[in-house]
Chain A
Amino acid sequence: MRLSDLYFLMPLLILVGAATLNMLVVAVKRNHKVIFGITIVAHLVAVFTLLQLNGSSYQIPPFFVMDGWGIFNLGLILLTSLFVTLLSYAYFEQREERKEEYYLLLILATLGACVLVISQHFMALFLGLEILSVALYSLIAYLRTRERSDEAGIKYLILAALSSAFLLFGMALVYAVTGTMSFPEIGVYLQSVSELPLLLLTGFGLMIVGIGFKLGIVPFHMWAPDVYEGAPAPVTAFIATVSKGGMMGLLIRFFSQADAYRYANLMLIFTIIAIASMLAGNLLALRQKNIKRLLAYSSIAHLGYILVAFLAGNRLGVEAVSFYLVAYFITSLGAFGVVALLSDTERDADQLEDYRGLFWRRPATAAVFTAMLLSLAGIPLTAGFVGKFYILASGVNTQQWLLVLMLVLNSVIGLYYYIKVIAAMFAQTKSVQERRKVLHPALSFASGGAMAILGLLLIWIGVYPTSLVQLIRGLLATFMTTF
């Protein structure tokens, strides 16, 4: 350990410090506002310290590497977590349960994801992943008295533990063959052998199970709809964004540093997974009446789209993944933010019926939700369109015609169910539905502000993507790869 290591790890240290501080404050006096304030400030300070690090690549051997890709992902995760926190206040304020531990667990889950994206060693990877998972177990079951939260929590606990076991066994096999646990050294080993040894392929295969579970891609997607439905809406937003984005960041780092792109059979596995995810996600979403489940299936499909760019295996592909992640994060946060805003004390607003005629009751919320859904569908002038365009470009660039064809086909299928929700929102309801009680007129300021910012960002990136593209390019300049 050197002193400068601490400087580079400052965002993580601040998160740990904030978690400890929250715990001490809870011990003295429980106050939702204070804890909320500390959490917000901690995120802001962490982002600020992150901005101080210039994009240079810094190694903390053998565990961490702070390069452009890591800094990009850290920034994305911290800002997303900040938005989740902003959306959480109004949501939890109207609930009876203890609210304070939620922020503690949220901060620590964010920390786990942060560790994940800057790790370049199996040990750091696994610890980061476990911190994220263990925090998520309790976050998913947080509102224990709700109907489906226990089911979702237990389901996630069992499946995540199982997938961790697969991942761990895979790592053990890789270690047994290569004799090292750090990604660059695995890359060095792979350079020295002509073809992939069978035991190593088995190891990678088992690791794909663990990674695929966290990404929620077919065939490891079974948990997604149930967990999305049972978890509180802000936690669902967190799972859809930070948890999946962190794993994606790690996957790309591993493949780039170990140079695993050149093995055709590994790429074939991912191609099959990508196509299956796109098809299954979109087809299963068609008949959904539950908005949270619908968004779960849609997120499975979107991870499939991201895998198309990942499979390109070049710098353009990584740029496309980065861009799409930003667009997808903004849209997911916005969509689940609307669900959180509309939820009442009894249950989350997850039925399609809750949204019928929403435009005539709450025009602003309906407008934001419409924008988010259009972005998910990939309609021009939204961030989702530019992201999808970028992915198509990277697919065409590497001549992956099958994947490109499936991507286009699936975008068309996906349009149907997004438009269905939008149509429901604009439907003129004859029978005057009794206005659902809006419990938090003043409290919703944070949520409302966050939603407005997300909506504006979405349009801004959709209309003028150059600034984001340049930011990503600048950061990726120091991404250590073998391209």
Chain B
Amino acid sequence: MTGSLFYFLTFLTLFAALGVVFSKNPVYSVLFLILTFFSLSGHYILLNAQFVAAVNIIVYAGAIMVLFLFVIMFLNLNMDTEQAQKKSVLTKVAGAISGGLLLVIMIAVLKDAEVGSYDPENFDSQIGLVENLGHLLFTKYLLPFELASVLFLVAMVGAVMLGKKETQQRHF
């Protein structure tokens, strides 16, 4: 059952990922990308990482994809503009070469990489659950967790400071 589900999800992921690359309309590309993220989240669930799956959907499929769509619609990129700017042969060749080189590097690296195998005896099925994560965050990793809050504070102050209009500067 899990095996066939894995193959189905993999097929779906690859199909959607190819759809992102090959569809002419940028909006379709983004929609395919959302499908890719959902099927990747399915993989995470199969790997028993429910929390990562949820975060992946919320952050990527939710927030980031909405931003993508907004930008595309603001810029008014559609089929016509895509076809208007014909890509030269040189661009295609350059793209193919650099992409192919990346593939070669990936194969070369992954060929010899040792991947940690899992041990069915001591496997803890609870490890990917939110509860365990929360427990760790508030005990062992409390200090980095607090530091992350400072990081958000900096980002917020900086963004508000830069984004605020200069004219109404005196009073909040």
Contacts and interface: CB of A to CB of B under 8 A. Distances in A.
Interface of A: 1, 16, 19, 23, 27, 30, 60, 63-64, 97-98, 101, 104-105, 108-109, 111-112, 115, 123-124, 127-128, 130-131, 134-135, 137-138, 141-142, 144-145, 153, 176, 179, 198-199, 202
B172 A27 contact: yes
Given A30-B170, A108-B154, A144-B166, A63 B144 contact: yes
Given A63-B144, A124-B144, A202-B109, A134 B166 contact: no
A127 B144 contact: yes
B112 to A, nearest CB: 7
Interface string B27-56: 000000000000000000000000000000
A105 B154 contact: yes
Given A1-B142, A135-B158, A97 B169 contact: yes
Given A27-B172, A134-B155, A60 B109 contact: no
Contacts of A123: 141, 144
B148 to A, nearest CB: 6
B161 interface: yes
Contact of B166 (A30, A97, A101, A111): A97
Give the top 6 A-B pairs by smallest Cβ distance, nearest first: A138-B158, A127-B147, A101-B161, A108-B154, A134-B154, A135-B154
A131 B156 CA distance: 12
Contacts of A105: 154, 157-158, 161
19 contacts: A1-B143, A16-B150, A23-B157, A27-B172, A98-B169, A105-B157, A108-B150, A108-B157, A109-B154, A123-B141, A127-B148, A128-B147, A130-B151, A131-B154, A138-B158, A138-B161, A141-B162, A144-B166, A153-B162
Q: On chain B, which size bracket covers the interface?
A: 20 to 34
B113 interface: yes
Interface of B: 109, 112-113, 116, 141-144, 147-148, 150-151, 153-155, 157-159, 161-162, 166, 169-170, 172
Given A104-B157, A142-B161, 4 more contacts: A101-B157, A124-B143, A127-B147, A138-B159
Contacts of A202: 109
A404 B67 CA distance: 53
A199 B143 contact: no
B83 to A, nearest CB: 30
A135 B169 CA distance: 20
Given A104-B157, A124-B143, A199 B166 contact: no
B128 to A, nearest CB: 18
A108 B153 contact: yes
A474 to B, nearest CB: 28
Nearest to B152: A134
B158 A137 contact: yes
Nearest to B171: A30
B162 A138 contact: yes
Contacts of A153: 162
A109 B154 CA distance: 8
A131 B161 contact: no
B113 A199 contact: yes
A97 B165 CA distance: 11
